[in-house]
Amino acid sequence: MKLLYITQRINEEGGIQRVLSVKTNYLIEKWNYQISIITQNDGDSDVFFEFNKAIRFYDISLKKGKVLNLFEYKKQLQKHISFLKPDCIIVCDFALKSFSIPLFLKTDVPVIFEAHGSRFNEYRKTFFGRFTGKLKYEYRNYCASKFLFFVALSKESLKEWSIKNGRIISNPLWFKMSQPAKLEEKKIIMVARHSYEKGIDRILKIWPFIMQKHPEWTLEIFGKANKALQFEKQQINNVTFSNPVHNIQEVYQAASILVMTSRNEALPMVLIEAMSVGLPCIAYDCPVGPKAIIRNNENGFLIEEENEKSFVEKVSLLMEDEIIRKKMGHKAQESVQKYDIDLIMDQWKNFFEEIVKANLS
């Protein structure tokens, strides 16, 4: 099987990059797939996650302005596809031009879209932000229907789109943790890049209220800094910022609670990873990812959007009650077994074989 993945970059520390490395490595090592990945603007240099050395990388330079870039992108994609002759093409990029691929690409190769974002990923509260966000969604939704299949990460994610070519295949849990977190350290963690949609500003806003009752607890935020936002320059007691780490399992194990205050999510790997280690998790019920993973009051807490008082109350409850913390952590660990990598990758293998067989018949 020869697969071609199209994405913007693989050299960041985000969930898409993590999932892409995990899946492509598995496909090569388990079934000897031939994998190629096309990136943009040096998006394959200085990668953070480990990609199998058998993968062939191709980068397209797009530095000529939006209109010229689109023509160049089309030209280079056609050239690479003609050369590589893949059995299937998978687009993993939420940019508008990537959604446009089935409109301008001329190929008999099956092309599918793998959605790692929410339709609300560019949502803003301003009127103009809502207006442009709606236009972009309508365009993306139209393009989504033009792919052979549109693969969403959960049924909640698929419901965002008005399409008939949808499939659901979740992200895989890439590690197996035999030793769960002890949940005895007075430490809360957050794992998120510094961006608007990840909502770091929202946890920083409510943290002082948590500290009023529990000054002995700490919050550590792991993620790549953003010069425009400069969250790390805010002087807030017991809050520290750390760069992304490779040994994220150890970070989870050393904590007692994970918080997520994102404004939107697809199917957050952070929640799946943390819960697999037995961490109780608290997240805003943003569109749409957390509700696909957390069963409220069972394996974690889902908080009504922007209900800061409730968020503080649930964090405080887990801080104060070790029994509830450990009970919820145990439920969390049990609930994410369905994301086991062998189960998920079997679904992908069967899916690819189905597509190629249908294309050859």
**Buried/exposed code over 92-116 (b: 16+ C-beta within 10 A; e: otherwise):** bbbeebbbbbbeebeeebbbbbbbb
Rounded to 10 degrees, what is the CA torsion of 233, 234, 239, 244?
Answer: -40
pLDDT greater at residue 235 or residue 142: 142
- Per the prediction, the chain carries an average pLDDT of 95
Residue 125: per-residue pLDDT: 60
CA atoms of 212 and 28, how far apart (whole Å):
52
Rounded to 10 degrees, what is the CA torsion of 325, 326, 332, 335?
Answer: -140
Mean pLDDT score, 96-111:
97
Looking up tokens 């693969």, which residue turns up? Answer: 151
Q: In the chain, how long is the greatest CA-to-CA distance?
A: 67
Before 288, cis peptide (omega within 30)?
yes
Name the pTM for this structure: 0.94
Contact 15, 268 (CB under 8 A): yes
Residue 123: per-residue pLDDT: 54
C-beta atoms surrounding 281 within 10 Å: 25
Residue 86, CA atoms < 13 Å, CB-side half-sphere: 28
Contact 218, 186 (CB under 8 A): yes
Q: Where is average pLDDT lowest: 23-27, 174-178, 255-259, 324-328?
A: 174-178
Helix axes 200-213, 308-320, angle to 10 degrees: 50
Please report which confidence band the pLDDT of residue 134 belongs to, taking 50, 70 and 90 as the band edges. Answer: confident
pLDDT tens digits along 188-220: 999 999 999 999 999 999 999 999 999 999 999
CA atoms of 282 and 308, how far apart (whole Å):
12
Residue 287: per-residue pLDDT: 92
- Residue of 210, 232, 222 lying closest to 255 (CA atoms): 222
Mean pLDDT score, 40-59:
97
Cα end-to-end distance, the chain, whole Å: 16
Residue 131: per-residue pLDDT: 79
